[in-house]
């Protein structure tokens, strides 16, 4: 590890000692929800971005808090876009439109479920619960990564449930 990384981990340890792990997580997540970038947060705390990102991504609870913070920020972007559209006058309508579209586009990237375009699976297949599915999951992951397609697998309890869901291919790309 380089000196900056070592110093960053030391600084993170100091923050955790001062605020507790939950308190440190809340401080970082709150700042993200308010629109600060990971880089801005890291620099103001005396760390590198990689230190904060590794710490946040190392634990499921922290990943969920980051996801919540991003959804909160996405919602704020939507409302900022609405304010831009509402407050635009004849002289600023072009700028207002540009800002609104940018805010909405970014909100859609941060929270696809609420503000993004609906993602329809390209391929859906059913797998019987209790069968050896490791190879099927590896194939699904490989197809998804190489072709940039959305592939959904559904685990079902018995074969009767697979009548309508054996394999469904959508031609939308």
Tell me how many degrees the CA angle 29-37-79 measures, rounded to the nearest 5: 80
Task: Give kind and range of the element (H or E) at residue 167.
Answer: strand 167-169
Domain extents for the chain? Answer: 3-58, 74-115, 123-169
pLDDT tens per residue across span 27-40:
999 999 999 999 99
pLDDT at 168: 40
Determine the Cα–Cα distance for residues 49 and 8; give it in Å rounded to an integer: 9
What parts of the chain have a pLDDT lower than 70? 1, 4, 118-140, 142-173
pLDDT at 13: 93
Q: What does residue 154 show for φ and ψ, rounded to 5 degrees?
A: -125, 125
Determine the Cα–Cα distance for residues 89 and 69; give it in Å rounded to an integer: 32
Kindly give the residue spans of alpha helices, DSSP state H, lying in the chain: 3-33, 38-45, 49-57, 60-87, 93-110, 112-115, 134-147
């Amino acid at each position: 590890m380089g000196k900056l990384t070592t110093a960053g981990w030391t600084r993170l340890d100091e923050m955790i000692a001062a605020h507790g792990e939950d308190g440190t997580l809340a401080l970082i997540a709150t700042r993200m929800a308010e629109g600060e970038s990971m880089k801005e947060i890291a620099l103001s705390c005396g760390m590198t971005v990689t230190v904060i990102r590794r710490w946040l991504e190392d634990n499921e609870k922290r990943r969920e808090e980051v996801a919540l913070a991003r959804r909160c920020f996405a919602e704020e972007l939507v409302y900022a876009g609405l304010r831009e559209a509402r407050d635009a006058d004849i002289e600023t309508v072009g700028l207002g439109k540009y800002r609104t579209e940018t805010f909405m586009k970014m909100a859609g990237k941060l929270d696809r479920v609420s503000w993004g375009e609906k993602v329809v699976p390209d391929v859906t297949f059913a797998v019987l619960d209790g069968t050896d599915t490791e190879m099927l999951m590896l194939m699904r992951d490989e197809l998804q990564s190489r072709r940039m397609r959305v592939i959904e697998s559904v685990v079902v309890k018995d074969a009767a449930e697979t009548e309508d869901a054996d394999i469904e291919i959508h031609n939308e790309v």
